[in-house]
Structure formats: C-alpha cells, structure tokens
Amino acid sequence: MTASAPEFLPFVRPEIDAATIAEVGKVLASGWITSGPKMQAFEAALSELFGGRPVRTFANGSATMEIALRIADIGPGDEVITTPITWVATANVVLTVGARPVFVDIDPRTRNIDLDAVEAAITPRTRAIMPVYLSGLPVDMDRLYAIAARHKLRVIEDAAQAIDSRWRGQRIGAFGDLVSFSFQANKNITSVEGGCLVMNTPEEALRAERLRLQGVIRTGLDGMDVEEPGGKFNLTDVNAVIGLSQLGKLDAITARRAELAETYFRCAADAGLAELGIELPLPLDPQVATTNWHMFQVVLPTDRLQGGAPDARRLVMEAMCERGIGTGVHYPSVHLFTYYRSLGWREGMLPHAERIGRGIVTLPLFPAMQASDVERVCATLSETCKRLSK
C-alpha cells in the first residue's frame, strides 16, 4: 500500500473561526451591512491599540496610503522617497496623487530601505519619506525620524505588514507620523480586505473621513457639501466585524508566529540552508526591534542554481510545489517593471534591491502550522537546492 501524499501546505492560510462567521451572520441579518456601528467599534479598538491616536478604517491598505499622501498635501511636482522592494501599490499611490516616487536601494541585511540612501536622495522637491516594513520588520525608527525632522519632511509609514511589530518596546503605530496598515487576506490579522490609517490630530482624522467617502460633508438631515473631491474607500460593517474578532486574537497570533520563526531558524540550521548559500532573515535584538513575523523569507543563491538569475527561483518554486509546498514572491523590484522603466529607471541603478528581488522567496508561515511542517519545508528546500546546484 502506497503512503498518501502529504496535504498541500500553502504559504499562508487565513483563519476565520465559527464565532466570527456567526458574527458576520448577525451583521447580515441586522439590515445595516455598510459602514456603521461595527466599523466605529473597530476604529475605537484600533485607537486603543495605538495608544489613543486617531484611527480611521478604509476599504484597503492602498487607499490608506493615498489618503495619507493627500492629508500631507503631497501632489504634482513633489517627490516621495521609497523602497523598490514592496508591493507596487506603494509607488502607484504616489503617482495617483501626481507626485513622483524616488526609489533608493535597500540594506541587504534587513531588506528594508537604506536610510543612508534616503538622506542622499533628498532634494528641494522631496516632501516625504515612505518606508516599508518588509515582513513586519521596522527600520531604524530613531534615525528615520531624525532625518525627517532635519529636512522637515513628512513620514508616511507603509506598515501594511507590521501590525504588532515594535521599536524599543513601542508598538508600530503608537508613535510617529502617518502610519498605514493593511488587513488584506494574507496579513497577520484580516478583515478579508481593509486597512487603517493612524493619524496625529482630530483634524487629520476628520479630513480622512471626508476623503474616504467622496469628500462629502453632511450637516443636519439634508445638508450636503463637497470642498475637495474624495474617493469611495469606506470599510463595511461586514469587514469590520471580522477585523474586530481577529484583533482580539492579536497577542496569540504574534506569539505563535514568533514560535514558528524560532522553529524555522532551528530547522534551517539542521537542513544546512546557510551552507547552501541561502540567506535567512536577520536575527533581531529584542531590546531594539521586534517583528510580528508576517513572513519568513529567504534569498536563494541564484548564481549557484540551474537557470541562473532569470529562472532559478521559478525552478525552485515549481519543485517545492510538486512536493506539496506553496511559496510566494514578496517582492520583485518595482523599479524594473515596464511602467517604471518608462519613467527612467534601469537595471543596475539599485543593485541590492535587484539581487534580493531576483532571489527572495516567501516560505509558509501561519499560526495553524506545526513544527513538523516547518521541518518539511526546510528539508525540501535543502534537497531542492542541492539537486538544482550547478
């Protein structure tokens, strides 16, 4: 009798429990399914999480960044410095408001934006810095805000992946300037689709409210006006009630992900991944920075593998999939996409980002995984890379 193949292991699996599904049912039965009391409760809970700062929710984590740029009054003729190793929305929203994204290279150890490169790229047109916390890992927040203060720049933190990450013990979002989070389906907590923006003042929050719903200002039962156009970015109560339930599990989710990350480091050592030239995430000093382990990413030694830089990662991912293990790519370097090449970006301009973007692979990581799953992933990756070695 042949042994059955192991169950396919995706790189992420959202977990929505029966109690949450029941709460969604109650919202659907209530007759109020768009933005309403559940959205307001979700915003209040998020505000409490972030130390009482004003928080507004949105339909997705791209809208949050667009609204942040508009709150900062960034538009045509302005420049925003950001990283190319990100979901393309980070750069796209800068273009949406008429500004220009300026990519700088990354630190190859953290895979986050290189703050030396940020400071070197500042010009009289620079209005903001938009760092991205890849896999939930913050940049050096002290230095980031020192640079911003010195040059009188706004900071729009793309913290889409960083819910419950911390810097010097403080939760990301509990301090800083404008901080954007995503609750999309693969995030540590999800509302299926959604996001939130943490702001500084009630005035910013009021403007965000208006901009997320066409800019409409209501007075009384029948008064309506628009002083500046907005979009249609509101979060529904259906999404909000899912987010509320997930938020209540945040501590447990973060703790479980940290346990799995520790298991990954142990299993990676047992499988000899480093000896094969596979780069692991940077070990952290918990007194300085802690990540929520949104993803566990490795960088493949594409120069040592069959197919080289153009094909090696695909061959590894295909082989892993054949063995029942899902993987992802987060992210190829944005500046090499066709549209951004049309704006003047070229290969060779950002060498660290280009190398990481060619070789980075996201391995499975979600709370329901077991240690045996992690062992299987590391062993399979090791075997695959040995087989595909030149």
Structure confidence at residue 158 as a pLDDT band (50, 70, 90): very high
Q: Do residues 206 and 304 both lie within one domain?
A: no
Q: Do residues 228 and 266 both lie within one domain?
A: no
Give 258: exposed, middle or buried? Use CB within 10 Å, 0-12, 13-18, 19+. Answer: middle
Asked if residue 308 has pLDDT above 90, the reply is no
Range of the domain at 315: 250-388
| pLDDT in the model for residue 179 | 99
Percent of all residues in the chain with a pLDDT value above 70, rounded to a whole number: 99
Structure confidence at residue 4 as a pLDDT band (50, 70, 90): low
d(CA 64, CA 233): 9
Percent of all residues in the chain with a pLDDT value above 90, rounded to a whole number: 96
Q: Do residues 297 and 188 both lie within one domain?
A: no
Q: What average pLDDT does the chain have?
A: 97
Asked if residue 7 has pLDDT above 60, the reply is yes
Question: Is 187 annotated as catalytic?
Answer: yes
Q: Do residues 294 and 345 both lie within one domain?
A: yes
Model confidence over 106-157: pLDDT tens digits?
999 999 999 999 999 999 999 999 999 999 999 999 999 999 999 999 999 9
Q: Do residues 72 and 144 both lie within one domain?
A: yes
d(CA 237, CA 223): 25
Q: Do residues 229 and 279 both lie within one domain?
A: no
Q: Do residues 53 and 78 both lie within one domain?
A: yes
Give 277: exposed, middle or buried? Use CB within 10 Å, 0-12, 13-18, 19+. Answer: middle
* Cβ-based neighbour number of residue 52 at 10 Å: 9
111, 360 in Cβ contact below 8 A?
A: yes
Catalytically annotated residue among 187, 249, 386, 390:
187
Q: Do residues 64 and 177 both lie within one domain?
A: yes
247, 45 in Cβ contact below 8 A?
A: yes
How many structural domains does the chain have? 2
Q: Do residues 141 and 188 both lie within one domain?
A: yes
Q: Is 21 left (phi over 0), alpha (psi -120 to 50) or beta?
A: alpha
| pLDDT in the model for residue 309 | 82
Q: Do residues 174 and 93 both lie within one domain?
A: yes
d(CA 127, CA 73): 9
Average pLDDT over residues 190-208: 98
Model confidence over 63-78: pLDDT tens digits?
999 999 999 999 999 9
Asked whether residue 328 is assigned to any structural domain, the reply reads yes
Asked whether residue 9 is assigned to any structural domain, the reply reads no
